[in-house]
Amino acid sequence: MDSNQQNDKLSLSNQPDLSFNLLDVVASVWRWRKQILILTIVVCLTTVVVSLFLPNYYTASCTFVPANEDKDLFSKEKQNGMYGDEEAVDRAIIFANSAPLVEYMVKEFKLDQRYNISAASPKGESKVSKRFKKLYNVKKNDHGGIEISMQDTDPQMAAKMLTAAIAKIDALYKQATQPNKDLMLKTYETALENKRKELKSNGDSLFVLRKKYAVFDVKTQGELLSTLLVETESQLAESAAKLEAYKRSGRQDSIANITAKVQGLNKKLEILNSKSDSVNSSISINAFNEGREMIMYYDAQNYSINNDMAEILQEYTRFKAQATSNTSSIITLEPVQVPKIKSYPVRSIMVLAAAFLSIMIGLIAALVFDLNKRIDWKEVLNK
């Protein structure tokens, strides 16, 4: 074995044993038990004293959802639900966390004085706003609602501030959505006006056609004309046969009457079969047939326009009532209650946490001190 290996072994044998086993740890804790106990007691007592000086905070909370204010104009599938959709919830959360709401709450409740923060400078104003945001919380829950809470040292003030915040959110929501409502109302009104003009134009054309073709009721008039034509032709054929029979039998007294009747029926049949541009009678089959399709078309147009107007007017009336009402734009699912139990500080947890932390620090310190005893610092520093 050479000299280098012997020197290495010698140096390793001279190094202190820095390893710890469980018995060493227990021994260290036992040796330092009094110091650890004293540290724990001092820390716990200090925590108790400090926690007693901390003010109690009370949390007022509420859950709300925005009302349904989205409408698909003239759509067959209407959104008639009471509550708004996910986009409406997201918009409400934006309003709830907006700068106008924070500014309103700071000024309305003089939070700079309440929080003992000078707001004479922009930095001070920022501190007041940050303090308010720390005590004010808005979040969306798992059920699509919006949970909002306000903390304050006075439970009555916490509830009052939360109620004011909800009212301000409602006002901001209305302010943001009102221009869209006004635009939708104008759209409805424009659509109704266009339908009225279309109905008038269609009615004027229908009036001209009815006057030209003397067609006033397509269904009834068509049935009457068909019946009248059949009856006239039948009567004419019967009268013509009688006239021939009377002529063969020489019944002169009846020939004149039948002849006049046949002439009348021929004239009637002539009128029924006359052209539309050469007759002013309402019993012209040709005039009826010529104008029937156009009049039926304009009648159908009138019916369709009237139905459209009725539907638009119904939606317009319903939407106008909603848009001009003073009802809230948000729906609170539970009223704001004055909190009766403080939310924090939880002094028992603070003391337990301090005790645990002090014990851990004491254990670590005991192990470090015992480890320090094993090291010859003079030898270490002299190397």
The pLDDT tens digits for 15-35 are 555 555 667 778 777 888 888
Per-residue confidence (pLDDT) for residue 250, from 0 to 100: 63
How confident is the model over 184-193, as a mean pLDDT?
91
Per-residue confidence (pLDDT) for residue 243, from 0 to 100: 65
Query: Is residue 113 over pLDDT 90?
Result: yes
Same domain, 170 and 69: yes
> Does residue 273 contact residue 286 with C-beta atoms inside 8 Å?
yes
Is 340 within the bounds of a domain?
Answer: no
Residue type, 320: K
Per-residue confidence (pLDDT) for residue 60, from 0 to 100: 94
- Average pLDDT of the chain to the nearest whole number: 79
> Does residue 101 contact residue 165 with C-beta atoms inside 8 Å?
yes
Is 174 within the bounds of a domain?
Answer: yes
Q: What is the pLDDT of residues 52-110, one digit of tens each?
A: 777 888 999 999 988 776 544 445 554 455 666 788 888 889 999 999 999 999 999 99
- How many CB atoms are located within 10 Å of the residue 181 CB? 17
The total number of structural domains in the chain stands at 3
Per-residue confidence (pLDDT) for residue 167, from 0 to 100: 93
CA 25 – CA 28 distance, rounded (Å): 5
Is 295 within the bounds of a domain?
Answer: yes
Q: What is the pLDDT of residues 281-304, one digit of tens each?
A: 556 666 666 667 787 888 888 889
Query: Is residue 218 over pLDDT 60?
Result: yes
Per-residue confidence (pLDDT) for residue 253, from 0 to 100: 61
Same domain, 297 and 252: yes
What is the residue range of 364's domain? 33-52+345-370
- HSE-CB at 235 with a 13 A cutoff on CA atoms is 18
Same domain, 140 and 107: yes
Same domain, 146 and 258: no
Same domain, 41 and 78: no
- Per-residue confidence at 155, pLDDT binned at 50, 70, 90? very high
Per-residue confidence (pLDDT) for residue 110, from 0 to 100: 94
Is 201 within the bounds of a domain?
Answer: yes
Same domain, 201 and 172: no
Which residue in the block uniquely carries the two structure tokens 């106990």?
A: 37
End-to-end C-alpha distance for the chain, whole angstroms: 25
